Amino acid sequence: MAAITVGGLPPLTTTCGYHSHAQMRSHRKVAPVKSIEVGQEGNLEQVVLPQHGADRFQNAGVTVLATPVLCHWFESAAVRAIAEQLESGEATVGTRLRIEHLKATPVGMQVRVAARVVAAEGRRVDFEVSAFDDVELIARGTHERVVIDLERFLARVQAKRAAAVKRGPDVH
């Protein structure tokens, strides 16, 4: 079983590119998702190419679909499932992905990936994900995405970059 978890962002503070508390309060917050409904589905079909192989991820000689590529495809299908419901200036970020990669898929075989909304609460959207090759179910799992204000998110990322440059590299 492959599990990939990406932690959420830290709480917003005045050190994240805002000059005053008033500026922070006036910045647009993302409203809870209302138009995303349980059952919405995003799909993706891909042929497994040599660059999708596990051997491209330091797994010498294993020329089958790599788990990291499958994870990317799950995220892409989830984004497709809800893209039309997002307001202008909104995006989503993946915050949790838990999968079971059950069967190997050789290069040249087609893979069909689906992400189905199973819950939408506040800004969080939960999905069930699955992938089938030409023969069988190859992977299944769950995925969580959070709706964000893209401008605000990117400002926080830029502030983090600026703080890191100012501080210098960490030595461990």
Catalytic residue annotation: 67, 75, 101
In degrees rounded to 5, what are phi and psi of residue 162? -65, -40
* Runs of H (alpha helix) within 18-148: 21-26, 67-82
What SS3 class is residue 4? strand
DSSP annotation of 108 reads: T
Rg of the chain, C-alpha, whole Å:
19
Dig out the tokens for 39 from the structure. Answer: 């059952």
